[in-house]
Chains A and B, each alone.
Chain A
Amino acid sequence: MSAPALFTTPAEGFTSARFAQHLSQRGYLPAWWLETKKAAWNQFLALPLPSRTDETWRFSNLKGLDLDGYHVPEEPSQQIPHHTDFPQAAEIVFSNRQVVARSTISAELAAKGVIFAPLDEALRNHGDLVRQYYQKHPTNLGSEKFVALNTALSVAGGFLYVPADVEIALPLVIQHTLSGNNVSMFPHTIVVLGPRAKATLVEFFISGGAESERQFVSGVNDLHASEGAQLTYVGAQNWSRATLAFQTNSIAVERDARVLSLNLHLGGRQSRHESHSRLLGPGAHSEMLALTVASGEREFDQRTLQTHIAPHTTSNLLYKNALLDSAKTIFSGLIIVEPDAQQTDAYQKNRNLMLSDTAEAHSLPGLEIQANDVKCSHGSTSARIDAEQEFYLQARGIKPVEARRLLVSAFFEEVLNKLDDENLHAALTGLIASQFKR
């Protein structure tokens, strides 16, 4: 019954008319893609909004899932904050779904067959390659309706393809900025690393305008590491205070490959992140990391799944939340070890640092083990910020906000230290620090 409520503003909102218009403007794209979009649109219409009885939405604020009145901007914004001031191999900057700036990869990398392009361009020039990996391993942790909407309306996003044995030392960067009131965005990024390839992709998701701008985002990414590949993916979001955001992350790791994903969550009114790692071949490893600074009345909802399909695979999840004010975090994680996945090592840890008595941290760790020779552990801890440490810092003249910033940074260091790239580390530290300026 809730679906029709989405269509109260006929000219705006996610209407079938709006979708038809979107589709008609994209006749230049491959037919399979347009068919995929149509199917996704129908799926979006058919799927209900999450309800109280959905276990995957436990503790979430369902009243906040209001999709009314958003429109899909066709014009880039004039306000484009820049957060990517560090050495990089190439960059694509989207503003309100349009590419507004772009630097290309070196001729040397291009000659080796590396592709780094906006999704739209990749669909035109490398459609078959994109098709091979597009939602090959979907993440089904509760946001299927919003993922369907992403597929139906996505324009922005990137495609990174690194052929076998090619290593890219510097990070590739995609920046998405969204500006305007009631605007929405549906980025989809696909990363494919061939055998033994190595690369780092960093995606920034930033609101460009006023903190009060109401925005809606549903983003998706598909990360694929072929045999022996090493992929580092960093996603950092700093949405406006009134943004409703979804991001789903699919991580497929083949034999002896290694993926490190780190998601930094700073903004949004309500933001949900789903991440699913699949360990597909022996020796595969997935390092799943997340850092959240939850302030104000924001809600951060994180749902994860580590599926061990092949034997001798490892995964390590460490999600750290720093909670201030009246913010709320939800962590719900599951490790599944399938019957064939003997000799699995799987860890899952959620740590919450409470900086306020009115903040709320929910933690729902879980294990489902179908093999008998495995090492698994999961756990969650919540600790109040150490009052003696806080006093010690203040007794040196350090202001309370700065003292908290230092203690939160110290808490996050364990995660940030897993990044090899020092400049990237510094960029993320800077973004985190910006949350403590009052």
Chain B
Amino acid sequence: MPSLEIRDLFVALAATPDKPIVKGLTLTILTGEVHAIMGPNGTGKSTLSKAIAGHPDYVITSGDVLLDGKSILEMEPDQRARAGIFLAFQYPSEIPGVTIANFVRAAVQARLAEGEDLDATAYYKRLYSKMDLLKIDRKFTSRSVNEGFSGGEKKRCEILQMAMLEPTFALMDETDSGLDIDALRIVAEGVEAMRGDKLGVMLITHYQRLLDYIVPDFVHVMYDGRIVKSGDKTLALELEAKGYDWVKQELAAATTA
């Protein structure tokens, strides 16, 4: 079964390699599983997901990330993506002058064999059907990527790209923030539809309500660059009720003991 394995990972900013942000994080995700990651602001959740995707701002100073048992650390970001890793950005970039249609098309084309041409009619048919599903106006195809999009539109567009590219592992960084209740349900349904046993998800979120729609198999609490507590979906409810101080106190008690 396909797996994404994060082994004792340390991540720092390329500019300050001696100051780790992610500090020894270990997690294995299998396809079919949804792992929710929750944790206070600034604990390194986005850093973790961007480092896995290969963002050049970050360096992995030790540890490893393995896709189906093989390290991906030597791979370029585009190779990692084509190997099946998808990062749904917390803050997607705006790219004026590149339309959604051309952008997604280039991404789909990149997955074809050398010399193989994209079937434009089939492509648009598929793109439109996914857009309809996600209730994105078809007019968006001719708009520049994320330019002038509302927060929620950007997030829906991330899911559209995910639906078109069919990754094996999705790292979804706060895809729920900025979504209204209806959009949240639409997006969650979109993810659920892809879930099956072919997709593994790392779902970074601050809100329990998303987990009502995308029910996680595991919930992990990340604090200060590490996973400090793991549990099932009830952990999220507990966090919602008690806040993070509870986890921090538990942690402090454990370390002084």
A residues with CB within 8 A of B: 386-389, 391-400, 402-403, 406-407, 409-411, 413-414
Contact = CB atoms under 8 A, between A and B. Distances in A.
A202 B98 CA distance: 26
B89 to A, nearest CB: 7
Nearest to B95: A389
B96 A410 contact: yes
B211 interface: no
B82 interface: yes
A402 B92 contact: no
A403 B76 CA distance: 13
Given A395-B53, A398-B107, A406 B82 contact: no
Contacts of B87: 395
B110 A406 contact: no
Contacts of A393: 95, 103, 106
Interface in B156-207: 161, 165
Q: Is the interface of A mostly helix, strand, loop or mixed?
A: helix
B97 interface: yes
B111 interface: yes
Contacts of A400: 76, 78
B65 interface: no
A398 B92 CA distance: 16
Given A391-B77, A394-B77, A396-B110, 15 more contacts: A389-B93, A389-B94, A389-B95, A391-B55, A393-B103, A393-B106, A394-B54, A396-B161, A397-B82, A398-B110, A403-B78, A409-B97, A410-B97, A410-B98, A413-B97
A402 B77 CA distance: 13
Interface in B104-148: 104, 106-107, 110-111, 144-145
Contacts of B111: 397
B53 A406 contact: no
A387 B76 CA distance: 14
A24 to B, nearest CB: 52
Nearest to A396: B107
Given A407-B98, A410-B98, A394 B78 contact: yes
A391 B96 CA distance: 15
Given A394-B78, A397-B78, A411 B161 contact: no
Contact of A397 (B56, B98, B110): B110
A406 B106 CA distance: 9
B121 to A, nearest CB: 18
9 contacts: A394-B81, A395-B81, A395-B87, A396-B81, A396-B104, A396-B161, A406-B102, A407-B95, A410-B96
Contacts of B56: 387, 391
A386 B98 CA distance: 13
B78 A406 contact: no
Contacts of B54: 394-395
Contacts of B76: 394, 400
A386 B144 CA distance: 16
Contacts of B93: 386, 388-389, 391-392
Contacts of B96: 410
B165 A397 contact: yes
A419 to B, nearest CB: 15
B89 A392 contact: yes
Nearest to B82: A397
Nearest to A410: B97
Contacts of A409: 97-98
A402 B97 CA distance: 15
Interface pairs A-B: 8 shortest CB-CB: A410-B97, A397-B81, A396-B107, A392-B93, A394-B77, A394-B78, A397-B82, A413-B97
Contacts of B86: 395
A391 B51 CA distance: 12
A402 B110 contact: yes
A126 to B, nearest CB: 44
Contacts of A392: 89, 92-93, 95, 145
Nearest to B161: A396
A411 to B, nearest CB: 7
A414 B235 CA distance: 52
Contacts of A386: 93
A393 B89 CA distance: 12
A413 B96 CA distance: 10
Nearest to A405: B106
A403 B98 CA distance: 10
Contacts of A414: 97
A410 B143 CA distance: 12
A289 to B, nearest CB: 16
Contact of A398 (B53, B78, B94, B97): B78
Nearest to A406: B98
Contacts of A406: 95, 98, 102-103, 106
Interface string B65-95: 0000000000011100110001101001111
Contacts of B81: 394-397
